[in-house]
Copies of this chain bind each other. A is one copy, B any other.
């Protein structure tokens, strides 16, 4: 019997390698090499997304691959990672679009590009730098071995070498410490969380210390892996919150937790296992073992945070909508079922109130809003829209149920901002769209939705009341309507709709349209937010024009175009456009600071208690404001 030999597969451009048995699918070989290839269809060969080029050592194409590629492409080595198996040593090019990392980075990348710009507006004081007072630090030490003349207990010997003490430690570590010190020859790396010894690692592992930040969105979960020492990003990921199968919004999940058997346990299990999988993806992307992740910081709205911690959200579903906690929660990650270092910790952001949660606190932390000396507004657009007004040094915070439209949910062809999403819509003579990842469009994300509605308003194909019009229903315009635009008003499933991409252009051969119902969803979402802004301004005795800074947060795709956000009435038209800044996913950015800095955590606790919690549902003006905000602003159509 001959022993089967493993063969070498080399991946470019990373240069990573893996030894695998012949017959191993390329997707598995890549994973073996630490490269995560995106397989949206689960490896059935039905989506064609996991394409790559086998430069040398290509196997015969499968029947499925013959459907996806021309003969020329197959000849050039194009294959599907989920179908093609290794049959000898091979060299493989992975196009970056096939790597999961590319998709995943979309949702977290932009706010960084922008944070630099916006921070110039601030004095900077009080904004914690990400790397001050890290929650976990490492120190390599060489201890003298015990002798009869120096028989200090092991833990005290370590304290002496570190020059610190007294150090506390968990019994689980105490049980391992003596063996670990001896295994390490009394040289190794102490992992310290304040005055607590988390671990003693063999060898010098000072450079290997990581933290994970998670934005726990109602619709979307986003995560990032950072170096605890330098703060640099090593990997990012995002996915649909699996709790959406129990309901789109927080209220439906509160009901599910209350009324279904094991409802709370199932909601918690869904989100915790998703976050745990995300940690696994982040670690795989970066080639970092899970046990080198020592801290996790999580930001979400109050309901999401309670569900994550397994705390019954029942009281959040009835008057007067009271959260259980309030302070940030610090607990062992293992206690929540998360797999990082066995003694690693989780920090869950403090909440302001039942409607304004840790995601908003994270946003305040990340934007440094409170350092601004002028009237300023922070709006975090997600499934809930959270609004914080800073006026005369006082913070007031409210939340409105915007719904998941900006994240692509409840929109007929909506999707979140990943490859294939139409993220930008411009009409200059003809319709032009921009698709994330430079691939055929597969749907539309939040920023594209705002653009499309704004352009339709501008060309009077959409009335101020939100009715899509055929060209002949439109009032005469100063300049004639571009013919391309007029032709795109179509009947789709019996509704007047706007055609963004026809069946020949799309990834799945189905046209992408914006329906009358989609427009209604958008009106509800933006109306809710604008009504909230109006109430907070009125309570402070301010007008929209008084605002000298408006910071927009949210992970809904890509840049939000300020003018278009005003055109559709998401933001009051009276705000000077130069004062509006898009900050990206501020919840994730704040969670990142908390993951990297104890000082940031203390600042978050203080911010949460400083903000006044405003319950919009008790405001008698809210319904009227909401109804008014449903109407697109008059001025918008004429601009």
- Report which A residues bind B (CB closer than 8 A): 146-148, 150-157, 166-168, 170-172, 174-175, 177-179, 182, 309-312, 314-315, 319-327, 329-331, 335-336, 351, 353-354, 605, 613, 615, 618
Contact = CB atoms under 8 A, between A and B. Distances in A.
Contacts of A157: 322
Nearest to A309: B171
Contacts of A312: 175, 178-179
B166 A353 contact: no
Contacts of A353: 151, 153
B322 A174 contact: no
Given A148-B618, A151-B354, A324-B177, A335 B156 contact: no
Contacts of A151: 320-322, 353-354, 613, 615
A334 to B, nearest CB: 11
A156 B326 contact: yes
A355 to B, nearest CB: 9
Contact of A326 (B152, B319, B615): B152
Copies of chain A in the complex = 2
A310 B613 contact: no
Contacts of A351: 153
A611 to B, nearest CB: 13
A353 B150 CA distance: 11
B154 A323 contact: yes
A146 B354 CA distance: 12
Question: Which 7 residue pairs spanning A and B have beta carbons closest together?
Answer: A153-B326, A153-B323, A156-B326, A151-B320, A178-B324, A148-B320, A146-B322
B336 A171 contact: yes
Contacts of A153: 322-326, 351, 353-354
B175 A311 contact: yes
A331 B175 CA distance: 13
A198 to B, nearest CB: 15
A605 B322 contact: no
25 contacts: A147-B320, A148-B319, A148-B615, A150-B320, A151-B322, A151-B354, A152-B322, A153-B322, A154-B323, A154-B325, A154-B326, A155-B324, A155-B327, A168-B330, A170-B331, A171-B309, A171-B310, A171-B329, A171-B336, A174-B311, A174-B324, A174-B325, A177-B325, A179-B312, A182-B315
A128 to B, nearest CB: 19
Which one of A156, A157, A172, A330 has the greatest number of beta carbons of chain B within 10 Å? A156
Given A327-B167, A331-B170, A175 B309 contact: yes
Contacts of A174: 309, 311, 324-325, 329
Given A171-B329, A175-B312, A154 B324 contact: yes
Contacts of A178: 311-312, 314-315, 322, 324
A351 B151 CA distance: 13
A335 B332 CA distance: 13
Nearest to A306: B174
Nearest to A166: B327
Nearest to A310: B175
B320 A166 contact: no
B354 A171 contact: no
Given A315-B178, A320-B151, A331 B156 contact: no
Contacts of A319: 148
Nearest to A331: B171
Contacts of A326: 152-156
Contact of A171 (B179, B323, B335): B335
A153 B357 CA distance: 11
A312 to B, nearest CB: 7
Contacts of A152: 322, 326
A192 B325 CA distance: 16
Nearest to A151: B320
Nearest to A156: B326
Given A175-B309, A178-B314, A178-B324, 17 more contacts: A147-B320, A151-B354, A153-B322, A153-B323, A153-B324, A153-B354, A154-B315, A167-B327, A168-B327, A171-B336, A174-B324, A175-B311, A175-B312, A178-B311, A178-B312, A179-B312, A182-B315
Contacts of A315: 154, 178, 182
A319 to B, nearest CB: 6
A511 B179 CA distance: 51
Contacts of A329: 171, 174
A325 B176 CA distance: 11
A168 B147 CA distance: 42
